[in-house]
Every structure is written in C-alpha cells, then in structure tokens.
C-alpha cells in the first residue's frame, strides 16, 4: 500500500514539475513586446467591434487574419485571441447602453444591464460587466491549462477511423445548433465539404472541380472565403437598410449621475456577485468544451443558475447586478474552453476557433495531440496569452468605459465603407491576386443569398475547415481496410462517436418537429 502511494506521489510530483517547466518556457516565449502589444491591441480592437451593433466577432477576426500572415506564430495567435476575448466583452457595452447586444452572447446581459442603465447606473453596470468578464475568463482558463495536457495524452489513441467519426459528430452538432432548421444546417455543411474538395486531390495530386482554372488548383483561399462569408453579407444588408429609409437613432442612457456610487462597483457588491461569477466561469468551461455550443447558451445557463440560487431573485430582470455578472462571466468563460478541443484534437469548439485553426495552418502548425510534443513552448505561450487577456481586458475596460456611448453610435455610413476597404485589402494581401478578391465578393453574395433563405454560413465555414481532416480520415481508414467500411466500427472510440452522431441527428430532428408543430398550433 505504501509503495503504491509512494509511486502515485512520485507521478504527481513529476507531472507538477513538467507542467511548471513547460509553463516557464511559455512565459519566456510570450513575454516579448510584440506579443504583449498584439494581445492588448487585439482586446482593444475586439472590444470596439463587439460594442458596435452590426459588426460581429467573426468579422473582426476575419479582417485581422490577413495582417497576421507575416507575424510570428504566437504574436498572430495572441492578436486573434485578444480580438475574440475583447469582442465577447464588447458586446455588453451596447447591450447595457442601448438594449442592443453587440454580440448574441450579450443578449442575457441586456436583460438587467439596460434596466440598470435606465436607473442611471450605466457606469456601475459597465464596470461590473468588465469585472465579471475577467473573473469568468480567469476561472475557465485556469482549469483549461490543467486539463488540456491530460486530454492531449488521451488523444494519442485516435487514429484515422476515430478522427473521421469525431469530425462527423462535430459537423452534425454544429450544423444543428447554428441554424433553426437541421436540414438546412446539414445542407450548408455539405456545401462546405464540397467547397473543401476544390483543388488538388491530397492523395493522387490531380485537380478536382477546377474547371480548367490554374488559380483554383490550390483550392479556395481560406481568408477571402472567410471574409466573404461573414463581412460582405452584412455590408449588403446595411446597403438595403440605407436604401429603404433613414437610419434609426439609438436611445442611449445617460452614464453621468450625481451619485458617486453609480460610477463604481463597491467591494460589497463585488463580493455578493463573486459566487455567481465563479459559477458562470465553470458553466462556460463545460459548455465551451462541447463543440458547437459557444457563448450564448453559456450566458443564459449561467444567468438561470444565478436566478435559482440568488437571495434576491425578484431583482432579476429589473436591474440585478448579480444577473448581469452571471451572464457576463458565463459568456466570457467560453473563450479559453473552446481551445480545449482545438489544441488537443484539432477540432474547433466554435466558429472563432475554426478561424484560429486556419491561422494555425497558415503558420504550418497542426493542432492535435502532437502539438504538445512538437510545439510545447507555443502551446504554453498560448496559455500565458489567455491569462494576459484578463489583464488586457481590465486595462481596456478602464479606457473604453468613458467613451462607450460614442463608440456605440458610430454611423453605419462611415463604418461600413471602411469595413469594405479592409475586406478588399485583406483578401488581396494574402496572395496578391485579384482572383481572391473575386472569391471574396462571390462568397459574400452566396452567403447573402443563403441568409435570405434561412441557411446559416456557420456550418458551411466549419465544414470547409474540417473538410480535409474528414476526407483524410475516411480515405486513410478505407485504405487500411482495403475498402471495408467495418473499420469505422473497429474501435470503441469510433463506435462511440458514431452513436453520438446518430443520437445528435435524431434529437435535433425531433426538436425541429416539435417546434414546427407548436408553431402550427
């Protein structure tokens, strides 16, 4: 018994020592001025984008991606990560001030944030949102840093059949939760898989769907496609609104107040909300790890749990600081959690980490279990960058709050022409080809038409990113088995994911039918 305990203690100490050594390597790699500046600048850019209704997180990340091509890997990822974290927080600014969430994840924040604003406590609400964002993100990131290396070791058991089954499961999950119609989500995902096959066949090096075009031999460029899918449709919609009538002015609450307490969060108020913020961080971690769920459900689940456990549930929906804190910690906690499946399995946890996957590929880095062995310092540098985002978020919050009302009211007539110029510049800059600008515009029109008919571009984007992994997993598996499909049922892991895929599709179809029947009645 003593020998077992001694061996266990030795293993634990060895693991702690290895973790400390790797983390110190990550610290050394991260702490250079360009990484710190990229992280801080990314949070600032993301916060501004998130606080302006009409601009989206994915638009911010997509526009920044071309400018990371010449950066070092960690600098590029720190910039994109900062934008991600900042935009999730920034959505709370417009949610509180004008009752219009800058991001879907801030919808729960608006329920109490705007009520506080109407009571003249906008300054207090904005600061509590900032504190809660930092706490939720910190709780989630602390746990992510511990569990990621453990899950990476489990991922070594994944071969081609397991990866095929995992990607299949991820595609069905994301297709279902990203659109109201399961069928439309699956169709959108199938079109994304089809787009991923354009270019050279990875096994026999012959052209596929190139139609004789040399420019298509390398496939559809990732960045122009991304910008086209998510930035251009919004520009087209803004042109439609402009042509249909004058812009609607937002009614912004007054931040100034004669009461000094309305400008700050007291220590007593912070302590009373701390439990809800911590709970929101754990909820965001759990939901963020599951591919396809993301920040919006996390915010609402965290809000609901805070309501159930609150000593003052009657205040929720009427201007509760605790409700606002729970929602903000829940949605921000997802930031680090979505990196768990990305770093350990190479599967993006949401649409933003799908873009991150593209950024990794641009820098010739393949996420997955081997990443922890081949690029150990980079992985732990990313962990340090996640922690640095909390510091940057606090700094940006202090700077942003006094100017919040001005940022939220930037006219669309000024904003979107600048966005379009960035779209064209970013698409052209990757390969210096006008052909890529054509791809961007074509995909933008395509995504706009998809949106008009209820098809979400998110499954298309995820499927396009995961398409090569899906194809390689399937074809390598069939090559190993001489074409026998039984190989996909040869391991418990693959069988488990296939069963989860079937359950996911059945559940989503039933849910859709239930919604349709309730609407018809």
Domain range annotation of the chain:
19-515
- In sequence order, the 6+-apart residues with CB closer than 8 A to the CB of 133 are 88, 89, 92, 328, 329, 332, 393, 397
pLDDT at 516 over 70: no
pLDDT at 476 over 80: yes
SS (H, E, C) 88-111: HHHHHHHHHHHCCCCCHHHHHHHH
pLDDT at 267 over 80: yes
pLDDT at 282 over 80: yes
250 confidence band (pLDDT: 50, 70, 90): very low
Predicted pLDDT at 293: 62
pTM of the model: 0.76
pLDDT at 93 over 50: yes
Answer with the residue of higher pLDDT: 195 or 153: 195
CA gap 82, 30 in Å, rounded:
14
Using alpha carbons, list the distances in angstroms from residue 324 to 63, 256, 266, 330. Answer: 30, 20, 15, 10
**Residue of 56, 81, 160 whose CA lies nearest to 336:** 81
Percent of the chain at pLDDT > 90 equals 2
Report the interhelical angle of 122-154 vs 321-332 (nearest 10°): 30
pLDDT at 287 over 50: yes
Which run of H or of E encompasses 296? helix 295-309
Predicted pLDDT at 310: 79
Tens digit of each residue's pLDDT (9 = 90 or more) over 135-154: 888 888 888 888 888 777 77
CA gap 517, 339 in Å, rounded:
37
Residue 199's DSSP bridge partners are 208
CA gap 140, 306 in Å, rounded:
17
Q: Which of 324-333, 373-382, 388-397, 399-408 is least confident? A: 399-408
CA gap 57, 49 in Å, rounded:
7
Predicted pLDDT at 113: 82
40 confidence band (pLDDT: 50, 70, 90): very high
pLDDT at 162 over 90: no
Predicted pLDDT at 519: 53
- Positive or negative CA dihedral for 325, 327, 332, 334? positive
Q: Which of 198-212, 262-276, 365-379, 408-422 is least confident? A: 408-422
Residues 89, 50 contacting (CB under 8 angstroms): yes
427: left (phi over 0), alpha (psi -120 to 50) or beta: alpha
pLDDT at 169 over 50: yes
pLDDT at 206 over 50: yes
502 confidence band (pLDDT: 50, 70, 90): confident
CA gap 164, 487 in Å, rounded:
11
**Residue of 291, 344, 190 whose CA lies nearest to 500:** 291
- Alpha-helical (H) ranges within 432-491 are 434-452, 457-480
130 confidence band (pLDDT: 50, 70, 90): confident
pLDDT at 419 over 70: yes
**Residue of 511, 443, 454, 507 whose CA lies nearest to 179:** 454
Distance of alpha carbon 3 from the chain centroid: 46
3 confidence band (pLDDT: 50, 70, 90): low
Using alpha carbons, list the distances in angstroms from residue 311 to 70, 80, 273, 316, 329. Answer: 53, 39, 11, 11, 19
Predicted pLDDT at 249: 47
Predicted pLDDT at 4: 53
CA gap 40, 389 in Å, rounded:
7
Q: What is the mean pLDDT of residues 232-253?
A: 65
Residues 371, 84 contacting (CB under 8 angstroms): no
Predicted pLDDT at 330: 85
Across the chain, mean pLDDT equals: 79
Tens digit of each residue's pLDDT (9 = 90 or more) over 44-66: 988 888 877 667 777 788 888 88
Q: What is the mean pLDDT of residues 32-37?
A: 91
CA gap 139, 151 in Å, rounded:
19
Q: What is the mean pLDDT of residues 441-457?
A: 87
Residues 34, 164 contacting (CB under 8 angstroms): no
DSSP 261: G
């Amino acid at each position: 018994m003593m020998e077992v305990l001694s061996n266990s203690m030795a293993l634990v100490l060895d693991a702690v020592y290895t973790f400390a050594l790797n983390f110190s390597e990550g610290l050394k790699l991260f702490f250079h001025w360009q990484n710190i500046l990229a992280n801080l600048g990314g949070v600032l850019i993301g916060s501004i984008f998130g606080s302006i209704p009409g601009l989206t997180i994915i638009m911010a990340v997509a526009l920044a991606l071309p400018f990371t091509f010449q950066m070092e890997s960690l600098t590029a990822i720190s910039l994109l990560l900062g934008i991600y974290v900042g935009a999730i927080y920034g959505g709370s600014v417009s949610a509180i001030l004008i009752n219009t969430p800058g991001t879907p994840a801030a919808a729960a924040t608006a329920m109490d944030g705007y009520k506080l604003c109407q009571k003249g406590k906008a300054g207090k609400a904005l600061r509590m949102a900032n504190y809660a964002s930092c706490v939720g993100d910190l709780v989630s990131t602390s746990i992510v840093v511990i569990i990621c290396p453990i899950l990476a070791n489990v991922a070594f058991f994944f071969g081609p059949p397991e990866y095929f089954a995992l990607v299949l499961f991820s595609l069905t999950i994301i297709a279902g939760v990203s659109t109201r119609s399961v069928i439309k989500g699956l169709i959108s995902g199938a079109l994304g898989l089809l787009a991923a096959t354009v270019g050279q066949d990875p096994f026999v090096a012959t052209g596929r769907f190139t139609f004789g075009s040399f420019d298509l031999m390398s496939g559809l460029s990732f960045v122009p496609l991304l910008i086209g899918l998510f930035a251009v449709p919004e520009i087209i919609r803004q042109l439609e609104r402009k042509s249909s009538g004058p812009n609607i002015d937002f009614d912004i609450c007054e931040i100034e107040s004669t009461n000094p307490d309305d400008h700050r969060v007291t220590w007593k108020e912070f302590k009373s909300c701390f439990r809800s913020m911590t709970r929101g961080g754990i909820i965001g971690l759990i939901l963020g790890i599951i591919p396809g769920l993301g920040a919006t459900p996390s915010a609402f689940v965290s809000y609901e749990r805070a309501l159930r456990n609150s000593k003052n549930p009657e205040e929720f929906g009427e201007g509760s600081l605790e409700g606002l804190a729970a929602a903000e910690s829940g949605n921000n906690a997802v930031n680090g959690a979505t990196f768990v499946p990305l770093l350990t399995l190479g599967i993006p946890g949401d649409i933003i980490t799908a873009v991150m996957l593209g950024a990794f590929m641009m820098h010739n880095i393949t996420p997955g279990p081997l990443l922890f062995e081949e690029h150990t310092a980079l992985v732990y540098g990313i962990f340090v960058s996640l922690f640095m985002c909390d510091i940057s978020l606090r700094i940006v919050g202090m700077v942003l709050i006094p100017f919040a009302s001005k940022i939220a009211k930037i006219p669309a007539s000024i904003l979107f022409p600048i966005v379009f110029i960035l779209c064209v510049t970013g698409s052209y800059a990757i390969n210096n080809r006008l052909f890529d600008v054509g791809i961007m515009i074509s995909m933008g029109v395509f995504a706009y038409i998809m949106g008009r008919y209820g098809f979400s571009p998110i499954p298309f984007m995820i499927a396009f990113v995961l398409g090569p992994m899906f194809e390689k997993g399937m074809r390598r598996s069939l090559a190993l088995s001489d074409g026998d499909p039984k190989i996909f049922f040869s391991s418990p892991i693959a069988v488990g994911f296939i069963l989860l895929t079937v359950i996911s599709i059945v559940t989503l179809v039933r849910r859709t039918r239930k919604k349709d029947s309730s609407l018809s009645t």
